[in-house]
Amino acid sequence: MIKLYKLRDYDFRLVIALVVLSFIGVLLVGSADASLQNRQLMGMILGLVLMVVISLMDFSWVLNFSWLLYAGNILLLLAVLLFGNDANGATRWISIGGFRFQPTELAKIILILFFARFFMEHEEDLNTLRTLLKSFILLAVPLILILRQPDLKNTLTIVILFCMIIYMAGLSYKIIGGALLVAIPLAVVILFIIMQPNQKLIPDYQRNRIMSFLNSEEDEYSDSVLQQENSVMAIGSGQLTGTGLNNNEVSSANNGDFVSENQTDFIFSVAGEELGFIGCAAILLLLLFIIFECIRISLRAKDLSGKLICSGMGALVGIQSFINIGVVTNILPNTGTPLPFVSYGLTSMVSLYIGMGLVLNVGLQRYKKYREVDES
């Protein structure tokens, strides 16, 4: 379970990058909404403690409980639908013992672990119809529960994440090519259906977001794109060095409430306005470094499951960063995806730190002196 490791073998580069990025997030959240700063700081500290503890656990031992984790994940997602708290027409939160959290964020980490173990066990027969169908069914169960909340953005995020994991597991290029031949035309057909006024495929508010992105200059959708346009203006107003954290300029997008949810989904616009190009570049470089470290550790993992854990976590950080910044800069339709380790959201931050703890252990397990000897 928990092992003793030599301090010099610990990946402090990754830890430092995570701490610096998270602390920048604490400062930005405090500037956006001072009442949330202490909670964000406590979330960061809790995440760091859990990361350190989990990094001392043999990830192979943790994966022995993959089916138990999967079952627990399904129960939590079911509990959200049955007993969850409704907010803005969606039921995504659940309260346990006075704590309110979003199980979908934890589900991403659990699914990475589950499929890391699953694909390692099926490494030899991955490209068979039986294994592929089994993996799709196991993926579909939590996806349906998440989609019912409704939560389309996280459903799509997990689908993309799964595709990256199964590719890293060794999926045949013939199967990938065949899947693309089906997926691309299907996506075009689905988009065409969504564009119809009386479609029933997705809720109206989700359709409006897509239509406002595709037809941003039409008066009908002017209010829907206003938030993203203000976000772009806020980022541009920061110029090179920004206006400074906690500034009192009434005309700023942050202080003037021109960008809603600026402590969560639009935290990058706060960074652009108050830290400028230099601050935004620093955040992007830190995110890229974290992704790079995950990939680097994956290449040295002792087995396929370790490789998939690291590549999965790197992919998750990359996917969410791309979507968040794409929305904030108005190159993607508006959707509420947090910026990893920066946006306000304790469930998201703590879940990501748990995943990074496992990445750190994969890095430690590359040394033969730490590997358990199978005596059976």
- Model pLDDT, residue 373: 40
Of 165, 180, 108, nearest to 135 by C-alpha is 165
The share of the chain scoring above pLDDT 70, in percent, equals 91
**Are residues 19 and 341 in contact, defined by beta-carbon separation less than 8 angstroms?**
no
pLDDT confidence tier of residue 374, bands split at 50, 70 and 90 = very low
Quick: pLDDT tens for 152-164: 889 999 999 999 9
Quick: pLDDT tens for 167-199: 999 999 999 999 999 999 999 999 899 888 888
Q: What is the DSSP letter of 36?
A: G
Quick: pLDDT tens for 317-365: 999 999 999 999 988 888 878 999 999 989 999 999 999 999 999 999 8
Calculate the CA dihedral of residues 191, 192, 198, 204 and round it to 10 degrees: 20
Residues 6+ apart with CB under 8 A from 126: 119, 132, 166, 169, 170, 171
The kind and range of the H/E element at 116 are helix 103-121
* Domain edges within the chain: 7-367
Distance between CA atoms of residues 155 and 301, nearest Å: 28
pLDDT confidence tier of residue 250, bands split at 50, 70 and 90 = low
| Backbone phi, psi, residue 2, to 5° | -95, 130
pLDDT confidence tier of residue 3, bands split at 50, 70 and 90 = confident
- Model pLDDT, residue 370: 63
Distance between CA atoms of residues 222 and 19, nearest Å: 39
Q: Which is more confident, 90 or 6?
A: 6
Segment 255-276 mean pLDDT: 85
Distance between CA atoms of residues 304 and 324, nearest Å: 30
- Model pLDDT, residue 376: 38
Quick: pLDDT tens for 44-81: 999 999 999 999 999 999 999 999 999 999 999 999 98
What six digits make up the tokens of 115? 């499929």
pLDDT tops 70 at residue 223: no
Distance between CA atoms of residues 93 and 98, nearest Å: 12
The share of the chain scoring above pLDDT 90, in percent, equals 63
- Model pLDDT, residue 229: 86
In whole numbers, what is the pLDDT of the chain averaged over residues? 89
- Model pLDDT, residue 224: 65
SS3 state at 341: coil
What angle is formed at CA 141 by the lines to CA 173 and CA 105, rounded to 5 degrees?
Answer: 90
pLDDT tops 60 at residue 375: no
pLDDT tops 60 at residue 217: yes
